[in-house]
Amino acid sequence: MSAVNDTKLNSVIFLLSGLPGHGDAHLWISIPFYFMYVISIVGNSVLLFIIKTDPVLHEPMYIFLSILAITDLGILITTITTILGIYLFNSREISLDACLTQLFFIHLFQYIESSLLLLMAFDCFIAIHKPLTYASILTPPRIGKLGLVSALRAMVLILPLPFLLKRFRYCRANVLSHSYCVHRDVMKMACSDITVNNIYGLFTKLFQMGLDSLLIFLSYVMILKTVLSIACYDKCLKALNTCISHFCALLLFYTPEISLSMIHRFGKGLLSPLKNLLIAGISSP
């Protein structure tokens, strides 16, 4: 194990975690991970190709889906290097700068996804509540501006994290909990006072994902209110059908995130390290 006690910042080395007690089987374990990533990359690429080539799909909801696919690809590419590096080559070491770079892009793409899900909820609400003026409200230039604002908000919130972590001295056990770097994991390795990081990390979560979740919930309350006011059963089903893709995206995004957060905060000791790491690998992150 690499020592990090009282070492200089530029020589800090972290050790990423694979599956404990399964070192000899890492090559076999890498196979399902590899196929999972290949399927995800191919699936998102096919989705982008279909949306790009079919003019019928050049609508706000599908544009948001295509941007969501790009962010998914960004997270996959950011995490696949270290995850497969561990299982294929037993390469567990990662420098502080590389770790901070990885966690910056992981959290950036994660927060952009959260913003996109909010925009998709807004799109569903406009499509159901004001179908006649839908095209005039969500014009391509306006969609572009909304996407840019979402990316800038995520960038502004995430940019301070690497600098806040860079100022620490790391003198505790340097073994991270996952196969990739995330803020809460690296923060715990510091021997300095991490109060500022704790407060800022909580603030970013509440301001980005907490606020987005609240607004998404309110959007669906308004959507259900509008749908229930429709007298025709067929029109009611057709209105709900416009939100199916968005609802599936919500489940795929929030279920692993909430599960992993609950395990970290309340489930220590309830799940084995193997199951914990498998959930972390599937959520990524």
Query: Each residue of 36-66: pLDDT tens digit?
Result: 888 888 988 998 999 889 888 888 878 888 8
User: Mean per-residue pLDDT for 122-127?
Assistant: 86
pLDDT above 90 (res 170) = no
pLDDT: which is higher, 268 or 93:
93
Q: Name 95's bridge partners.
A: 13
Whole-number average pLDDT of the chain: 79
User: What percent of the chain is modeled with pLDDT above 70?
Assistant: 75
CB 166 within 8 A of CB 96: yes
pLDDT above 70 (res 4) = no
pLDDT band at 177 (very low <50, low <70, confident <90, very high): confident
Which helix (H) or strand (E) segment holds residue 127: the answer is: helix 96-129
Q: Which of 32-46, 87-101, 114-128, 221-235 shows the lowest per-residue confidence on average (mean pLDDT)?
A: 221-235
Which fold does the domain 11-283 belong to in CATH?
Answer: Rhopdopsin 7-helix transmembrane proteins (1.20.1070)
User: Mean per-residue pLDDT for 218-235?
Assistant: 78
Q: What is the pTM of this model?
A: 0.81
Phi, psi of 259 (to 5 degrees): -60, -45
Q: In this predicted structure, what is the pLDDT of residue 68?
A: 86
Q: In this predicted structure, what is the pLDDT of residue 8?
A: 45
User: Mean per-residue pLDDT for 5-20?
Assistant: 65
Placement of tokens 């990359």 in the chain: 41
Long-range contacts of 118-121 (CB under 8 A, 24+ apart): 118/150, 118/212, 118/215, 118/216, 118/219, 119/64, 119/146, 119/147, 119/150, 120/61, 120/64, 120/65, 120/68, 120/246, 120/249, 121/215, 121/216, 121/219, 121/220, 121/246
